[in-house]
Amino acid sequence: MGKLTGKVAVVTGASKGIGASIAEHLAAEGASVVVNYASSKSGADAVVARITKAGGKAIAVGGSVSEPAEVTKLIDEIKKAYGKIDILVNNAGIFDFAPLEAITPEHFHSQFNINVLGLLLTTQAAVPLFPAEGGSIINISSVVATLAPANGSVYSATKGAVDTITQSLSKELGARKIRVNSVSPGLVETEGATSKGFIGGDMEARLVTETPLGRIGQPNDIASVVVFFATDDARWVTGQIIKVSGGAR
């Protein structure tokens, strides 16, 4: 029996990258997993197929976290399929870097709408489905929230907001026994990071020299820490922000 047998876990943005690995790790501990996606149905179906093949349980449910009507539909489908949510991983996110002179309202709103508003809308809709015994919400932040690199003011600010929300909601939801924590990755090799040119170039090389453990991350480096927060092992841990970054800070 896994540590999450009988639990229902929702992972937003789980069609690829860090979210896909989190979904697979939660399922490996016995959770029934909702694999959310925005546009990549085929990616989400492939994650569900991998989980099912390994003996786990999962369904794919589409919906953009930044669209209120789609969030409502997502949560309604989860209610129909499972009737409850024990674990919510707010992973869906986008990242874009731009120097001050290139910041536009679109650059600002696209990132804040998904990374911050999307997290709030999903959490707001999901909380009523948490059972009386409570559960765990894990927000995927980033080391950039405090590292604050040049040309990353907007993206870094979204993750600063995520960490503030984590701390605020941990106080708000503690009475309902819902724990809220942030996991803050350093650079991780994902489809998103690769398509932005962060992997295999100067940026990766520089970051590796600044990382005590001497390498960038893989999605499963993040997923195992998320599983810890999801399980009863973390039963007295809430409002925490943990960097999972090989020591980069």
43 binding ligand NAP? (CB under 6 A): yes
Return the range that interacts with ligand NAP (CB under 6 A); candidates 3-11, 49-57, 78-86, 191-199.
Answer: 191-199
Catalytic residue among 155, 181, 186, 238: 155
19 binding ligand NAP? (CB under 6 A): yes
DSSP string, 222-235: HHHHHHHHHSGGGT
Q: What are phi and psi of 172, to 5 degrees?
A: -70, -35
Site map (CB under 6 A) of ligand NAP, residues 52-91, x = contact: ------------xxx------------------------x
Does the active-site annotation cover 82?
A: no
12 binding ligand NAP? (CB under 6 A): yes
User: What strand order describes the sheet that includes 241-244?
Assistant: 57-62, 32-37, 8-11, 87-90, 135-140, 178-185, 241-244
Dihedral sign computed on CA atoms, order 107, 108, 110, 112: positive
Token pair in block for residue 28: 């490996």
Q: In angstroms, rounded to a whole number, what is the distance separating the alpha carbons of residues 179 and 239?
A: 7
Residue 205 identity: A
Residues touching ligand NAP: how many (CB under 6 A)?
A: 33
Per CB under 6 A, the list member of 135, 152, 185, 246 interacting with ligand NAP is 185
179 contacts 234 by C-beta, under 8 angstroms: yes
Per CB under 6 A, the list member of 187, 223, 225, 241 interacting with ligand NAP is 187
182 binding ligand NAP? (CB under 6 A): no
List the catalytic residues. Answer: 155
Positions in the binding site for ligand NAP (CB under 6 A): 12-19, 36-40, 43, 64-66, 91-95, 114, 118, 140, 142, 185, 187-188, 190-193
